[in-house]
Structure formats: C-alpha cells, structure tokens
Amino acid sequence: MLPADRYRRVEGPEITACEFCDTRALPHLEFVSIDNDAGGGGEDIPAGLIETREERDGAIAYRARDPLSGTTKLITVRKPQICSECVAQIAAQVGLGERQPLLAEIDELRQDRDELREQLETSERQRQEAEAALRGTAVYERMLVGGDPNGTEAASAGGGKSGPKRG
Ligand SMILES: [Zn+2]
C-alpha cells in the first residue's frame, strides 16, 4: 500500500475524470486521487531541475528550470483519479462490501489485545517480585560470607592499579 497521504479526496475544480470509467464530476460522486509517483519528479522532469514542488489534492505542481533557456516554467502533473462508484465496485470484489465480518474480527482482536496486555502486566509484576527476592538473597549471602566480596580476587590479579586498599 502507498503511504496514506498518497490517497487524497479531490474536490471542486481539481476533479478531472475517473481513470477507469471516465465519469466526470457529478454531485453524487466522490473522487480520490492516487499519487503513485514515488515522490519524484516523474520521468519528464529531471530531479535536478526542480525548484519547487507543490502538492495539491489532484495534482503536483512543479516549478522547474528549462535546461535550454534557463528560464523557469510551471509543470502540472495530474494524479490519476478514481470515482467513488469504481472504488465501491473494486472494494466489493475483494470482500470489503460487507463490513459485519470485519467488525467482528476487530472485536475479537481487541479482546486478544486486552488479554495480552493483562498477561504482560502480570509477567512484569512477577519479574519485579522475583528481582526483589533475588536482591534480598544477595544481601543475605553477603552478610553470611562477610567482608569485601571482591577483595581476595583483586589481590590475586597481581598488583594492578585497582588493587585492594591497605590500611
Ligand atoms: Zn469511475
């Protein structure tokens, strides 16, 4: 799918005609433009010559330098537009006409999400409890052994700069 902002509602004078059925603006029809140009200048406008790029709902307007004359000219590249009736027909072909099964699925996924969130919270609580218990055990062990737990090892490492302090 293209990024969401590449699909735009087109209104008023920006409406041209449906790419598929060639219908022009009618009161009961909505039009959507599709920008599949990957954000570039298109084949006929080399990127290096583009000075400004203005994104409109139904078209992209470029101000580009003409390499021969050196002057700047305005080039409008129309985006393909599709009418709402064609969109509805296409949607029906891929099963989007019926919303009920989709809504049921959304409900189910929401329930799954809530359950997973609860499980995650429980796991996190248990992890924190286990960590606290482990810390308690470590303190207790140190108390049993006594003294500096790093002292003997550091000394046998051989007089490094982090050697044990002597009193
Ligand atoms: Zn159409």
Whether 160 is covered by a domain: the verdict is no
pLDDT of amino acid 118: 96
Rounded distance from Cα 24 to ligand 1 centre (Å): 8
Q: 86 CA distance to ligand 1 centroid (A)?
A: 4
From ligand 1's centre to the CA of 45, what distance in Å?
A: 29
Q: Looking at the domain assignment, is residue 69 inside a domain?
A: yes
- More confidently predicted of 156 and 105: 105
Asked if 19 and 73 sit in the same domain, the reply is: yes
Residues 8, 49 share a domain: yes
Q: Give the end of a domain, one of 78, 96, 114.
A: 96
Residue 142 lies in a domain: yes
Residues composing the chain: 167
Residue 60 Cα, ligand 1 centroid: separation in angstroms? 21
Count up the domains in the chain and report the number: 2
pLDDT of amino acid 80: 92
User: pLDDT tens digit string along 29-75?
Assistant: 999 999 886 445 455 677 788 899 898 999 888 898 888 888 999 98
Residues 140 and 58 in one domain: no
Q: Are residues 84 and 142 in the same domain?
A: no
CA 43 / ligand 1 centre spacing (Å): 26
Q: How far is the CA of 76 from the centre of ligand 1 (A)?
A: 22
* pTM of the complete model beyond 0.85: no
The alpha carbon of 108 and the centre of ligand 1 are apart by a number of angstroms equal to 35
Do 75 and 110 lie in one domain? The reply is no
Residue 154: Cβ within 10 Å count:
15
From ligand 1's centre to the CA of 59, what distance in Å? 18
Tokens of 63: 């101000």
Check whether residue 84 and residue 114 sit in a common domain. Answer: no
CA distances from 77 to 20, 37, 40, 63, 71 (A): 18, 10, 11, 11, 19
89 within some domain: yes
Centre of ligand 1 to C-alpha 154, Å, is 80
- Same domain? For 21 and 92 the reply is yes
What's the CA gap between 102 and 25, in Å, rounded?
31
Give 11 Cα–ligand 1 centroid separation in angstroms: 15
Whole-angstrom CA distances from 96 to 1, 14, 83 are: 16, 28, 17
The verdict on 11 and 62 lying in the same domain is yes
* Domain span at 140: 98-146
What is d(CA 5, CA 77) in angstroms, rounded to the nearest whole number?
A: 17
Q: Which residues pair with 10 in a beta bridge?
A: 31
Q: Which residues pair with 4 in a beta bridge?
A: none
What's the pLDDT at 160?
47
Same-domain pairing of 69 and 131: no
CA of 131 to the centre of ligand 1 (A): 63
